[in-house]
Amino acid sequence: MISDRQPPSLYLLSGALLAGLAWALVDAWRGYRVRSWLRHGDLGLAPHMSGWWGIVLDRARKLLRERERTIAASEQRLKDFLLAIQTSPNGVVMLDARSQIEWCNKTAASHLGIHPERDVMQRVGNLLRDPVFTEYMAVEQPIEPVVIAGHKNRIERPVRISLQRHRYGEGKQLLLTRDVTLIEQAEAMRRDFVANVSHEIRTPLTVMSGFVETLQTLDLNEEEKKRYLGLMAVQAERMQGLVEDLLTLSRLEGSPIPSVLSTLPLKQLIDSCEQEAKGLSNTITHGVNPHAIQFKVEPTLSAATLMGESRELQSALSNLVSNAVRYTPGGGSINVSVDQGIDGSLLIDVRDTGAGIAAEHLPRLTERFYRVDRSRSRESGGTGLGLAIVKHVMQRHGGSLSITSELGHGSCFRLIFPANRWHANH
């Protein structure tokens, strides 16, 4: 008789197979969960497991955290880099291989008149129609930068932009822009200054050379020699005055701002300029039909003190007073008054009854060597630097120079000292 019972080993084998199958299913499920999570890579959704899959998950989480930190650091560096370029005073434009704008900072947009967002992927040649720029872009490997008119360029207010092109990558280009308006203006001023100085010195030198040649070649009597030597002395004095004014301007531009610890009594300044004005008037008119010169100080300000460099303050007011005497015909009047402004400033007005100055000349009067009437200015002995000196002195003392004038009705030059540059001494 055969028994229906299975041997114990078969039960054990079946159990092992079932257990292995269950473990394989569980392991497959865990692997599926890990694979699903890896597809998304969200650390917040990472499953929690033990065993080998737990070790794999821990390692994967660590690698993902490191990657996220690296990406975040790279993004922050990129943001910092772009922010630095945005705040740069120089413009940057990135072009692709077809000269289309990929990116530009706000400075370049302002320089060239392009929009940093709307004009992306636009050909730069379609936006900038300047012939100089078009010709520059046609050069394969430009070495020197080119200067073009800026977006805000106007006849009355020119704007000049320096632009340089560099190649990088695969056919891409980088445009760097820089506002050189002030540099070009300074260079133009330097050229004009040198030309003006040369012209101002050449004229008296030519005259003196002619007189010297005359004295050397002609047999002159004593009276003629005296006259020629006198004319030479006038030209020498003119050159000396020009050199002194140039040295004064150079000293003003290279010196530190005057200290408020240095002081000059207002009465001393007024008295000195009054004596100088009357002496100059007598010299010019030879005592015939002299000027009517009046200096008036408000009684409350008679003991006032100015705070600043006394030599500079003396030079500023002296220039205005001497100009008023030189450009006012004999018999005219010069009035100098000192008053206090409503904002606490100290006002020194120099008024004359001269020919006056047309309105179009007023903004340029303080430019070096600028003259309304060159021949008349030279005849009066002016160097064309006096008002430039006055302007510099007032700026160094925190003040300003105001000029009003009307043709046929004289002029008024006002020195304005701020409240912190004087005190009343009641």
Contact 289, 331 (CB under 8 A): yes
**Rg (Cα) of the chain, in Å, rounded?**
42
Contact 253, 414 (CB under 8 A): no
Contact 329, 376 (CB under 8 A): no
Q: Residues with Cβ < 8 Å from 241, sequence gap 6 or more?
A: 381, 383
249 sits in the region (left: phi over 0; alpha: psi -120 to 50; else beta) called: alpha
Task: Measure Cα distances from 351 to 37, 119, 325, 415 in Å.
Answer: 89, 57, 10, 12
pLDDT by 10s per residue, the chain, length 426: 445 555 666 667 777 777 767 766 766 676 666 666 666 656 556 666 666 666 766 777 777 778 778 888 888 888 887 787 888 889 999 999 999 999 999 999 999 999 988 999 999 999 998 899 999 998 888 888 999 998 888 887 889 999 999 998 888 999 999 999 888 888 887 787 777 777 778 877 887 888 888 888 888 788 888 888 888 888 888 888 888 888 888 888 778 888 888 899 999 999 999 998 888 888 888 778 888 999 998 888 988 999 999 999 999 999 999 999 988 888 899 999 999 999 999 999 999 998 888 888 888 888 887 777 655 555 555 677 889 999 999 999 999 999 999 888 899 999 999 999 999 876
The conformation of residue 360, written as its DSSP 8-state character, comes to G
pTM of the model: 0.60
Place of tokens 């002995």: 381
Alpha helices in 255-405 (DSSP H): 266-285, 310-326, 374-380, 386-396
